[in-house]
Structure 1
Amino acid sequence: MVSTDELLKVMMANPPDPNEPLPSSNRKATIYGVTVPLLILCWIAVFLRLWVRLRIIREAGWDDFFVALASTLNTAATICVLLSIDYGLGHHFLYIGVENMTTYTKIFYIENALYVTQTSIIKISLLLQYLRIFKAGTMRWICVSLLVIITLWGITYGFMAWIPCFPVHGYWDHNINARCYGYGFADPKEFIAIFQSHTALNMAFDVAVFLTPLVLFTAPNLTRKNLIAMTGVFLLGGGAVMTSVWRLQTIVEHKAATYPYLDFTWWTPISIVLSCVEIDLAIACASTPIFWPVIESKLSEIFVTHEVRITEHRRLDEHGLEYELEHSGSIKSHSMGGNRTSEEGLTREHTGDPFAHYKDQYVVALVDPLASESAPGVGIETEVKSKPQPKWQL
């Protein structure tokens, strides 16, 4: 086991420049600016998911429980990352002081164990979600097989992360004679191997889990709307996979913060920030397919507009005047010209054919639907126009 004194001797043999400018990934503003907004968006996605499952469709399942658990662990891990900034994260380990070294190591122990645990939990949640879709057949067996393998992987690495030493506090208290392994940094080569192997397997399982439902793209009844929605989800999942690949690259490049020289707080910020981004994207990817159809339907109700045009056609007499008020006015004007017009009007009203209104083209057009073609411009027409659907429908 490497003691604190031996660790300090190794670092002091090749001391870094204390005035070296901080890389952008090591700055407090960068760490806060990346982790906090993504954590908020992650929780928004989870709350919307749980709202739909618990209040709308009322079909909550184990996949929802594991998503909520992963989000809780992710929040705790992010808080640990932000706390560790005050104890040396982003600065050279050699210059943060012995007391801060111990505190930082305690925080990193919790942070790393939480990350290792939640990487398996979020994949388990996604696989349980897939089992809701694949009720039988080859795809269901693939999901069950991945579920068993990832569960065993999570238990194995989770145990090594939570119990890296016997007793556990030997991880940060090097004054006791503890037996450490793997993450406990008993052997630098073993320490590097455990980080690289977990990150590589995590990346491989990410690819397997996010590629599994690609078979849905071959569904014969897949609409363009479904295709766009699924593509968005897979792009989000692809972002999580690419972040996992990037994190693996940083760990391999610096050999788990031991190359080109041992410096736990200087080389790790980029890997830690990427781990937060990876989990946030994975949780959002798992939650979006649940709540998005409901959100989309609500948005459609708000933004879909209709144009209604009502056209009214008034009846005209042989003089081209409107039949009601204007016609009465015209009769009055005619009667002022002499008794003959008035008498003709009275005669027409009282002595006409009692069945004449059945021959009236205006009445016939309102009763007979086939007569509208022979009497255009008669009746009331209603026309409803809907705006064309946009190419990208939210």
Structure 2
Amino acid sequence: MGFTPLEGQAPDKYESQAGVVIAVVTLCLAVATTAVGLRSYSRATLIRQFGMDDWAAIVALLLAMGSGGMVASNTIYGHGRHIEVVDMSIFWKYMRTFYTSIVLYNGSLTAIKITFLLQYWRILGTPQMRKVVMIAGVIVALWSISQLLVVIFTCVPIHRFWLPETPGTCIPNLPFWYINAAGNIVTDIIVFVVPLPALSKLNLKKNQKVALISIFCLGFFTCAISVIRIQYLKLTADTTWDNVASSLWSVGELCSGITCACLPTLRPLVAKIFPSMNSTNDSYGSYHKSSGRDGAAPSKNKRSRNETASTRSIIYPEDVELQSDDRSDKEVRVDRLENHAQYGSAMNKLKLGLKPSVTTEIKVGTPGPTSTGPMPSSQWPSRGIEVKHDLVVTKEGY
């Protein structure tokens, strides 16, 4: 909408930050949307393991879009302009949109934290770590739900927030906004610290471990944005102008959190685009393709090692899942699978009631004649131990 200069007012009163608001919101949401889109493609299409944490990321993005959309659309009602030149007959619309953006902001923050925790629940699948994740989840849930309720019912009745002449009461913006920001930073730190002890204990090379931990530590960048945002929470009477900085930092905080939650899941996509990253030197972990027989003849050892090295594949950071035996409660490493297709096939067989079992046959061989007569030394079997593993799938009850 246009604003007509009033007589006697300084020209700088008509400066506008509306363009900056729209540009920053658009850029931040574009980055977050791209991250979630790539995450969804990687998880649903490449490895076919789309889970609850992926749905939570989508919900967080939708809420962030809503909050960012409210911030950008509020420029229609004067956001980014000095309050002296804002049409006060529509100022209540500005405050109503502002209220909606705050509610959606807190909802998106909650969904982002849930995304991280569900991701940890899947990745760090040991009983000990799941207890830690559960405790962190309870703390985050209690705090987030309480803050969401306080934000929604800041004023009673609710519409008193944008219609101050309505009889009722409202919670003062300060110190509530400071308490809300401080609590969010504390819960963010709790969420980002949870996986570090488990990741530091993984049996990986030093550079691999550092790379993996660094990816998960990117979430602390969101904490830094939250800290910066605090200094912009105090608003003067020039609300429509002062609120630009705090609203943009809020949108940036949401998009940063969403992007950081998605980065650890993008390794399969990166490896697909850049096959050279499938080397064992820079992978977070690896497994080798096997025909089911180990301990080949000495004459073939060198060849076997070369074949193993050339056929190694990556186990991505989101698949570094430490699983436990429900009966013995013992921590074990994730099964070495030839590929994700075999994993899906095995799961389907389990769902159909097929019971897998493993038969191990160990043969200790020494050279010597056969029952049919002497054998030339060149045809004698190799010395050593031969181990053969056979996987048998049977129907339950058979």
What TM bracket, shorter-length normalisation?
A: 0.5 to 0.7
Distance in 2 between the 1:92 and 1:19 partners? 11
Displacement of 1:117: 1.4
CA distance in 2, matches of 1:233, 1:147: 17
1:278 aligns with 2:253: yes
Pick from 300, 305, 310 the counterpart of residue 274 of structure 2.
300
Residues 93, 263 of structure 1: 8 Å contact kept: yes
* 2:194 aligned counterpart, secondary structure: helix
Tell me the equivalent position of 2:176: 194
Instruction: Please report how far the alpha carbon of residue 229 of structure 1 lies from its aligned counterpart in structure 2 after TM superposition.
Output: 4.7
Q: How many residues align?
A: 271
Tell me if the contact between 2:67 and 2:100 (Cα under 8 Å) persists in the aligned partners.
yes
Under a length normalisation based on structure 1, what TM-score does the superposition of the two structures give?
0.63
Normalising to structure 2: TM-score of the pair?
A: 0.63
In the aligned structure 1, how far is the partner of 2:63 from the partner of 2:80?
Answer: 23
Q: Percent identity?
A: 26
8 Å CA contact 1:127–1:143 kept in 2: the answer is yes
Contact 2:155 2:161 in 1 (8 A): yes
Structure having the higher strand fraction is: 2
Q: Distance in 1 between matches of 2:148 and 2:239?
A: 21
- Matches of 1:295 and 1:22 in 2, distance apart? 48
The answer as to whether partners of 2:74 and 2:98 remain within 8 angstroms in 1 is yes
In structure 1, how many angstroms separate the alpha carbons of the residues matched to 2:41 and 2:278? 24
Greater percentage in helix: 1
Aligned residue runs from structure 1 range 98-247, under 5 A? 98-177=88-167, 179-182=168-171, 190-215=172-197, 216-222=199-205, 224-225=207-208, 227-235=210-218, 237-247=219-229
Cα distance in 1, alignment partners of residues 118 and 14 from structure 2: 43
Unaligned runs of 5+ in 1: 1-16, 183-189, 306-385, 387-394
Following superposition, the deviation at residue 176 of structure 1 comes to: 2.8
Measured in 2, the distance between the counterparts of 1:143 and 1:249 equals 31
Q: Once superposed, what is the RMSD of the aligned Cα atoms?
A: 2.5
Give the corresponding residue for 2:239: 264
Report the Cα offset of residue 156 of structure 1. 1.3
Deviations 1:125-153 (Å, cap 9, x if unpaired)? 10111111222344332221111111111
With over 3 angstroms needed to count, the CA separation of the structure-2 counterparts of 1:21 and 1:132, relative to structure 1, is same
Contact 2:13 2:82 in 1 (8 A): no
Aligned partners of 2:124 and 2:195 also within 8 Å: no
Aligned to 1:86: 76
**Take 1:55 and 1:226, find their aligned partners in 2: how far apart are those partners?**
27
Matched residues in 1 for 2:57 and 2:202: separation?
27
Counterpart of 1:287 (choices 254, 262, 281) is 262
1:33 aligns to what?
Answer: 23
Q: CA 1:84 to 1:262, structure 2 compared with 1: closer, same or farther past 3 Å?
A: same
Q: 1:134 to 1:85 in 2, by over 3 A?
A: same
Q: Is contact 1:93–1:101 with CA below 8 Å preserved after alignment?
A: no
Equivalent-residue separation in structure 1 for 2:108 and 2:132 (angstroms): 22
Deviations along 1:71-119, one digit per CA (max 9) or x if unpaired, are 0011111111111112111222343122231110010010011111111
Cα distance in structure 2, aligned partners of 1:304 and 1:203: 37
User: Of the two, which has the highest radius of gyration?
Assistant: 1
Structure 2 regions of 5+ residues with no counterpart? 1-8, 280-309, 311-398
| CA distance 1:20–1:233, shift in 2 (3 Å) | farther
> CA 1:171 to 1:204, structure 2 compared with 1: closer, same or farther past 3 Å?
same
CA drift of 1:242 comes to 0.6
Equivalent residue, structure 1, for 2:58: 68
CA gap of 1:232–1:131, structure 2 versus 1, over 3 A, is: closer
- Answer yes or no: is the 8 Å Cα contact 1:112–1:161 preserved in 2: yes
